[in-house]
Amino acid sequence: MITIYDLAKKTGFSSTTVSKALNNYPDVSQKTRQAILQTATEMGYLPNAHAQSLSTKKSWTIGVMFSEANEVGLKHPFFSAIIESFRKHAEKEGYDLILASRNLRSRDTSYLEHFLYRGVDGIVVISSDPKDEQVQEMINSNLPIVVIDMTNSNCSVVLSDDLSGGELAINYLHSLGHTKIAHIAGDATIHAGKERIQGYKKAMNKLRLPTPNEYLINGGLFSIEEGRQAMAKLLDLPDLPTAVFIAGDHMAIGAMEIAKSRGVKIPEDLSIIGYDDIEMASYVTPKLTTVRQDTDYLGVRAAQLLIKQMVQKKKIITEDIIPVQLIERESCGPLKKQK
């Protein structure tokens, strides 16, 4: 490894001047700057991030944490899409992402401590669980932070406009003639779940449509399997709905599977609209009509917000609501004429 001292020796200047030349300080002449830069590339000099961070107290890294509740981590298409977008934007600004865990070498600690140890400049967390203690702890620290997919009145959050998204879905279904509309919901302890339920209810009320309790089914944590179970429950009802709004694409896909297996045709017998617009939604049969979350924009928005806090060294408390969009495909159809 070649250091600024090596450059100093080679060029005949002091390490101070070398450092300054490398960092564009004004008090070094053009000529010496050129000379130093030149031999730097000649000798293949690379700065040492650790030394730099130690000295400047800035590491140019951002810690990322996934809610571990759903145990899928990077594999979840929605999460990974957001992170990928976040990453691209953060990179442009010069930040690298570091994925840390709860355990520090053998000893286990909290995420916060781990990030503190790593000296990250900020944290991005993707979590839906508003009462995750790990997340709370980080929010209450004074590390710059942005959280995605949940609300919190103590930090910057960015999330989709799930209330409108719910309404959007219902209004669309209604525009197709449906009046008996059920909702397979995400757990109400989760913000996304709750908001979509609200959207459902709000739209239904505005349309003066009934929302019997049996039509509101808690699908839990958005998994395919839970979607299956929820749909099974729904299909056991004596009075079936003609359309159902499902709070997540994974659940919707599970639900469709069960529906089809029971001989109910989609969309002829039952219209289904999902939420998220994961890749798979375009390739199941029928193609899933859904409400798209703008993962790209969620990611860059989060990055912007975090970086802003880091540069102005000041916590920003805000809630960025990202619009969602209806994606019409094939899983919804007009209400069949009653015989």
Question: What is the spatial distance between Cα 149 and Cα 186, in angstroms, rounded to a whole number?
Answer: 13
- According to the binding rule CB under 8 A, does residue 268 interact with a second copy? no
29's contact among DNA, a second copy, none, with CB below 5 to 8 A by partner kind, is DNA
Contact status, residue 127 vs residue 83, Cβ threshold 8 Å: no
Using CB under 8 A as the binding rule, the residues of this chain from 36 to 55 that contact a second copy are 46-51, 53-54
- According to the binding rule CB under 7 A, does residue 16 interact with DNA? yes
DSSP secondary structure letters along 55-83: HHS---EEEEEE-STTS-GGG-HHHHHHH
Smallest separation (angstroms) from DNA to the CB of 222? 41
Out of 9, 12, 73, 88, which residue is the one contacting DNA (CB under 7 A)?
Answer: 12
Question: What is the spatial distance between Cα 245 and Cα 238, in angstroms, rounded to a whole number?
Answer: 19
- According to the binding rule CB under 8 A, does residue 30 interact with a second copy? no
- According to the binding rule CB under 7 A, does residue 311 interact with DNA? no
247's contact among DNA, a second copy, none, with CB below 5 to 8 A by partner kind, is none
Nearer to a second copy, 14 or 101 (CB): 101
Question: From residue 40 to residue 79, what is the string marking binding to DNA with x (rule CB under 7 A)?
Answer: -----xxxx--xx-xxx-----------------------
Q: How many CA atoms lie within 13 A of 203 on its CB side?
A: 27
Smallest separation (angstroms) from a second copy to the CB of 253? 5
Q: In the 8-state DSSP scheme, what is residue 103? A: B
Smallest separation (angstroms) from a second copy to the CB of 245? 20
Q: SS3 for 215?
A: helix
Name the residue type at position 208.
Answer: R
Q: In the 8-state DSSP scheme, what is residue 11? A: H
- According to the binding rule CB under 8 A, does residue 98 interact with a second copy? yes
Which stretches of 58-215 are DSSP H helices? 77-92, 111-118, 133-140, 162-175, 191-206
- According to the binding rule CB under 7 A, does residue 1 interact with DNA? yes
Nearer to a second copy, 108 or 133 (CB): 108
- According to the binding rule CB under 7 A, does residue 14 interact with DNA? yes
- According to the binding rule CB under 7 A, does residue 29 interact with DNA? yes
- According to the binding rule CB under 8 A, does residue 87 interact with a second copy? yes
Q: To which residue do tokens 């977008």 refer? A: 85
- According to the binding rule CB under 8 A, does residue 113 interact with a second copy? yes
Out of 27, 30, 94, 238, which residue is the one contacting a second copy (CB under 8 A)?
Answer: 94
- According to the binding rule CB under 8 A, does residue 192 interact with a second copy? no
DSSP secondary structure letters along 241-267: -SEEEES-HHHHHHHHHHHHHTT--TT
Strand-pair partners of 243: 181, 271
- According to the binding rule CB under 8 A, does residue 279 interact with a second copy? yes
Smallest separation (angstroms) from a second copy to the CB of 53? 4
CA-to-CA separations, 74 to 40, 59, 164, 178, 324, in angstroms, rounded:
39, 24, 27, 37, 23
Smallest separation (angstroms) from a second copy to the CB of 162? 22
Nearest to 19 by CA among 48, 57, 58: 48
Question: What is the spatial distance between Cα 97 and Cα 223, in angstroms, rounded to a whole number?
Answer: 28
Give the other-Cβ count within 10 Å of 297's Cβ: 16
Which positions touch DNA (CB under 7 A)? 1, 3-5, 12-17, 19-20, 22-23, 25, 27-32, 45-48, 51-52, 54-56
Which positions touch a second copy (CB under 8 A)? 46-51, 53-54, 59-61, 72-75, 77, 80-81, 83-84, 87-88, 91-92, 94, 96-101, 103-106, 113-114, 116-119, 224, 253, 257, 279-280, 283-285
